[in-house]
Amino acid sequence: MQQRRRIATGQTSVNPTLAVVLSLALIVSAAFGGNQILKTQDVGSGPIDVSNTSASFATGDNIVIDDAAIAQQSGVPGPRTVKEFTRDEQFSMFAITWLDDRDLAAYVRAEMPDGSWGPWWDAEAIGETGPNGENGTELIYVEPTNKVQVSIVGVDILGEPEMEPVSLAPLPTNYGDIQPVADVASPEDLDVVFIDGNAEAGGIALATDSVTRGMPSVVTRAGWGAPAGNNCRTTIDNEMVGAAVHHTAGSNGYTQAQSAAIMRGMRDYHANNLGWCDIGYNAVVDKFGTIYEGRAGGLDKNVQGAHVGGFNKGTFGISMMGNYDQVATTPAMIKSVGDMIGWKAAIAGFEPKGTNQYYTYGFQGSKFAANTTATLPNIFAHRDAHYNTCPGQYGYAQMGTIRDIAQAKYQAIKSGTVQPTQTQPTQTQPQTTTTPVTPTTTQQSPPPAPRPQPDPLNMMSNAAGGDTTALLTVAGTLAGLAVAFLASEGTVPGTTRQVGDIAVLNDVKLTDLKPVLDIVSTLANNPQIEQAVNRIGTNYGAVLGNPRGGLNTGEATYALFDNGVIIDEAAAPEARALWGAFADLWAGQGFDLGPLGMPLTEEYQEGDLVRVDFEGGYATYNPSDGNVDVKLN
């Protein structure tokens, strides 16, 4: 039953509840427990084009350089001839491809914006041959450039001596002595690939729905701009018994916006240049901790990837974006890798800290002969199965931490607690050995009891009723303004209705905040909010209505309108808006303190429905009947 209480009467008296809320709202930030997920860029607006061009390796210019790093590659001091490729159109990723199973060693460096040359990046053979013999190096992220130089062993760059210009340095006299590290090829046998993932075209959108509990927040294929549909004949394995950890390649100097472009570039290279029809990894994690859905088919399914030849069947391939042989991994990245593997282990049924016997199918570069049995950890590094350095010395040093985080996540899901893992990633010294480390069996402590989460509806009711603790909890939040309004009206909310997965207060709507916001109208000019207003007006018309003031809590600025709200979070790249049914839904479930949390996107079309993604789930609106539905993570 709805209750009403008069808290203040008379025009000159001060409502104590309202006074507390209004004063604290300007200086105190909210205290609210829960998971805070990474804020990503923009809503994925569909497939984003990738620039992918190829040329013969022979078309590059022969350039003589005297570089100590490249001299080390062959063990011969002095100048060395490299290939230089210049493109009119900028590219950011580079690879070398060929047909057959030869193993070529190459290094590549890119010209920087100031005309200097960047570091040399090791372009290892990818170790996974396509259906028609397609082979190649890893796709190297070189940062945006128009020029690269390539040093390659095992390729006769100069050809016949009499055909070469006099100015070029000859091949070293002991050239034959270094050939065992790579097969011999001619420049005409190779192609070079220039790729740009079009970072300027858009950002990424979080996926917040899952068929299972405990799945970390993941950027879907649609979110990072993968092509619509799937041309692969997806292979679903009967079981998933382990996970392989990789790193990609090249520069670690990418931004969050460029991460999505790197995903698009890798998918295009793997699918079109190497003949795999899709990206090889099941998931990829960038240095910011963002997890990207990889190979199509469903992360909850046992989708067979193309990531560790001879061991693809029954293994989940996850790669860390960047080269972690020279640069340390980040704690956010390691945490996400461990959480993702732990979730996958829980739904697939393998113990993160266990070991398994893998039947080997054989592959060039494999440490194990075909048709034999190899014993590896259930979470193993690429180098444990193949002769390479993946995932780099710093990545390999974190394998124990990854297993710890995965085990904690696995246990939390199995026990039903699904709390954030307690293991904090630490940077340790790289291990010097590439021998697989068999984990020792340790007694796992029981997972901590779940920490009770606050009920935002009860908090708002208690605060409006004058409860001091509740007042302090909601102060400095948009929910605090709602409490101030309820207090001024003498209303303690009590009646709720169920909308999908959440309860919503019937008597709290965004438009009801006007009496308070007319008082708390201290919103200064904010360029992020102005941009959002212009964008919404251009794309949707006058859906927000007239401005009515706002609030700045330090963590976020809220600009209120007659029919909507714009939220500008300090950690987000741009402001986002809610209006209409979505705004009222957000208000009724507790605003920024509710189970949905902050909005991550604005409205976008999903089939016949309109959808908005939030930190804690997503909401859909059906224009045909006006129904709103909510799904929590």
Torsions phi, psi of 534, nearest 5? -65, -40
What is the predicted pLDDT for the residue at 411? 92
Q: Which residue has the higher pLDDT, 74 or 95?
A: 95
Closest CA to 53 of 81, 20, 89, 25: 89
Domains: count for the chain? 3
- Percent of the chain exceeding pLDDT 90 equals 27
At position 546, the amino acid (one-letter code) is N
β-pair type (80-99, 51-56):
unpaired
Residues 362 and 502 in one domain: no
> Would you say 335 and 404 are in contact if contact means Cβ atoms under 8 Å apart?
no
> Would you say 554 and 476 are in contact if contact means Cβ atoms under 8 Å apart?
yes
- Does 449 map to a domain? no
SS3 content of the chain, % helix, strand, coil (to 5): 25, 25, 50
Q: Which tens digit of pLDDT belongs to each residue from 532-558?
A: 888 888 777 888 888 777 777 667 788
- Does 442 map to a domain? no
pLDDT mean over 335-345:
94
Mean pLDDT (the chain, rounded) = 74
- Out of 196, 225, 248, pick the residue that ends a domain: 196
- Out of 415, 433, 467, pick the residue that ends a domain: 415
pLDDT mean over 326-342:
92
113 pLDDT tier (thresholds 50, 70, 90): very high
> Would you say 398 and 329 are in contact if contact means Cβ atoms under 8 Å apart?
yes
What burial letters (b/e) apply to 542-580, b meaning 16+ CB within 10 Å?
Answer: ebbeebbbbbbbeebbbbbbebbbbbbbeebeebbbbbb
**Domain of 154, in residue numbers:** 51-196
- Out of 148, 175, 196, pick the residue that ends a domain: 196
- Does 424 map to a domain? no
- Does 425 map to a domain? no
Residue 145 tokens, joined: 């450039």
Residues 190 and 210 in one domain: no
Residues 492 and 550 in one domain: yes
Listed range (550-564, 568-582, 591-605) with the worst mean pLDDT: 550-564
Q: What is the pTM of this model?
A: 0.58
pLDDT mean over 147-165:
65
Residues 225 and 243 in one domain: yes
pLDDT mean over 476-485:
59
Residues 226 and 134 in one domain: no
Residues 187 and 217 in one domain: no
Q: What is the CATH number of the domain that holds 258?
A: 3.40.80.10
Residues 143 and 203 in one domain: no
